[in-house]
Amino acid sequence: MSSRNSETDSPKPVVANARIYPHGGLDVLSRYEVMRLHDASAGGMHELLRRCALAVLTTGTSNDDPHLTRRQYPDFDIQVTEQDRGIRIDLCNAPAMAFVDGRIIQGVAELLFAVVRDLAYTAITSFSECAPQEVTSGSITNTVFGLMRNARILKPADPNLVVCWGGHAISRHEYLYTKEVGYELGLRGFDICTGCGPGAMKGPMKGATIGHAKQRQQDSRYIGITEPGIIAAESPNPIVNHLMIMPDIEKRLEAFVRLGHGIIIFPGGVGTAEEILYLLGILLNEKNADLPFPLLLSGPAASRAYFEQIDRFIRLVLGAETAARYEIIIDDPPEVARKMAAGIKRVREYRIAHRDSFFFNWSVDIPLEFQQPFQPTHAAMAALDLHRMRPVSGLASDLRRAFSGIVAGNVREEGQRQIQEYGPFRINGDIEIMRALDGLLTAFVEQRRMKLSGDYVPCYQVLT
């Protein structure tokens, strides 16, 4: 390990070089797969691999500026080297915080292997002759299943996985509340799945570790599901022991719904609003009318106004009947866990009756419009159909895309470049919907739910 500091230069982070040999899905590869992985990592995928690898090597940091970490480690590089028995990963000028006494921390190494594994799988399968020629809802779901199986996330066992959504930029008391809920879930034997970052994604996992320890639960799962643009801005939290990187936002969201047995939503910002609208849009599909899917919104007493505002927005935009698909519980972690346990019991009974698997929710119907990747350009954002004279599920889909575009403008490099070049995204629609949307976004800004680091400058303009 060597330092790059000098007496004349400003202080620079300490860095290290390392050579590691992956395992867990990357230790048994055909020569064709090794060749394809090497070609991809040496070509157009190299910068993506470098950005994602740097994110996991700085696991535990709390900033959401995708440029900051790379400015701190401008000379960092990663190389995937072909060998007869598989591959080797060479790290050059890697953050020293990922090492202890010259050896890479085991948890960090596992997350790094997951990055290479998932990007490799995507690169390899994209060249596969077996790749589907026609994109259908079923083919996309099969892709999601294949990615999850390759990541060894699917576990045949009784339903016990709770997905927790919420913001990375939340207050201290909101974070502590997510830990309390996680603790109550852990005591009841539930594993946790989140978006893998800080804030409301870390708190439930941290609380669950104590609950699991008290119950002497072994092999607990703390699953983090992300995608390249997000992980480059938000490093995984150190509790994650199963990391999965999906190719895009839509497959990431589908993975949550297919994998989880129930969802708890904590306070958050536009990313959390995107997730809520995605899930409600699916549950409002008449094909899913009888599908049990426990959905709870919860936070401390101080967050009551936040959930009231979210509830008003949903009722106004999607209709009052939509509220029947979720329940709001304020300042009562044990009740949240009890409600979730009862809901997951119904999920188990339903899947037995309908001969559906416990580890992958095949029964839920996800329309193609919720699965197709949305590229948030200025033209695409302006073209969103945010009007009442259309099916509620379709309106929820386009509202989800509007929030997705704002997330891109806030934290994703591609979105930030567009904002710098062309100015804010312009969002238009029914005046009543626009006023409600503008009010919700304004509250997020005032409550500092948009960004962790630096002052927030809106990347959008709601035309009211």
Confidence at residue 16, expressed as pLDDT on a 0 to 100 scale: 79
**CA dist., res. 243 & res. 258, Å (int):** 16
Confidence at residue 59, expressed as pLDDT on a 0 to 100 scale: 84
Amino acid of residue 214:
K
Query: What sign results for the dihedral spanned by CA atoms 383, 388, 391, 395?
Result: positive
Q: Is domain 157-368 in CATH 3.40.1190.20, yes or no?
A: no
Confidence at residue 143, expressed as pLDDT on a 0 to 100 scale: 92
Start-to-end C-alpha separation, the chain: 56
**CA dist., res. 52 & res. 41, Å (int):** 12
**CA dist., res. 237 & res. 269, Å (int):** 19
Please provide the size of the chain in residues: 464
Q: Are 26 and 127 in contact (CB under 8 A)?
A: no
Confidence at residue 10, expressed as pLDDT on a 0 to 100 scale: 44
Kindly state the tokens that stand for 318.
């999607």
Confidence at residue 25, expressed as pLDDT on a 0 to 100 scale: 57
Q: Are 196 and 240 in contact (CB under 8 A)?
A: yes
Kindly state the tokens that stand for 40.
């991809």
Q: Would you give per-residue pLDDT tens digits along the chain (464 residues)?
A: 433 333 334 456 677 788 887 765 565 666 666 666 666 666 667 888 888 899 899 887 766 665 677 788 889 998 887 766 667 888 999 999 999 998 999 999 999 988 888 887 787 776 554 555 678 999 999 999 999 998 999 998 899 999 999 998 899 999 999 999 999 999 999 999 999 989 999 999 999 999 999 999 999 999 999 998 888 778 899 999 999 999 999 999 999 999 999 999 999 999 999 999 999 999 999 999 999 999 999 999 999 999 999 999 999 999 999 999 999 999 999 999 999 999 999 999 999 999 999 999 999 999 999 999 999 999 999 999 999 888 898 999 999 999 999 999 988 888 889 999 999 999 999 999 999 999 999 999 888 888 766 678 899 999 97
> 217, 221, 211: which is closest to 163 by C-alpha?
221
Residues 6+ apart with CB under 8 A from 29: 37, 86, 87
Confidence at residue 9, expressed as pLDDT on a 0 to 100 scale: 45
**CA dist., res. 240 & res. 205, Å (int):** 8
**CA dist., res. 305 & res. 409, Å (int):** 26
**CA dist., res. 70 & res. 14, Å (int):** 14
Q: Are 185 and 152 in contact (CB under 8 A)?
A: no
**The domain at 15-129 falls in which architecture?**
2-Layer Sandwich (3.30)
Query: What sign results for the dihedral spanned by CA atoms 190, 194, 197, 198?
Result: negative
**CA dist., res. 225 & res. 242, Å (int):** 8
**CA dist., res. 123 & res. 141, Å (int):** 18
Spell out the domain ranges in the chain. 15-129, 157-368, 373-462
